[in-house]
Structure 1
């Protein structure tokens, strides 16, 4: 289940640096989350860090990208392997 940022985002800039997968970036009007990179912080933290720091609570689960824990773990491992490959 990738997360998403709704149009209630106030562009406060606190979520982007908290994302361990660099899944958050500025969109045309407000921040957005790349569902291919979002693991809901699985593998990094017990809870999604962007949700924890968002002052307006505008980061729900993206209904178009529902994933179970096994899928999120697989995505985390894939992203880690890509990062290690890029570092070498």
Structure 2
């Protein structure tokens, strides 16, 4: 799995960081930061949940 984000689309809701704190964080402006671009399979479910909850649809997962 490969995680990318569209930083310009992010609205800073923080849903991603709450759902998967090992993979996502927020910068000083509250916008998404990817901590792990290639998280392990054990994080798949929580990453997909973060994608579903993202109000700006700025998280993308491939692979």
- Bin of the TM-score, shorter chain as denominator length: 0.5 to 0.7
Question: In structure 1, what is the Cα distance between the partners aligned to 2:50 and 2:22?
Answer: 11
- Alignment length (residue pairs): 60
Larger Rg: 1
- Which structure 1 residue ranges, 4+ long, deviate > 4 Å from structure 2? none
Relative contact order higher in (CA < 8 Å, ≥ 6 apart) = 2
In the superposition, the TM-score normalised over structure 2's length comes to 0.66
Identify the structure with the greater strand proportion: 2
Q: Which residue of 1 aligns with 2:42?
A: 43
Question: In structure 2, what is the Cα distance between the partners aligned to 1:17 and 1:59?
Answer: 14
In the superposition, the TM-score normalised over structure 1's length comes to 0.51
Q: Which residue of 2 aligns with 1:72?
A: none
Instruction: Establish whether residue 27 from structure 1 lines up as the match of residue 46 from structure 2.
Output: no
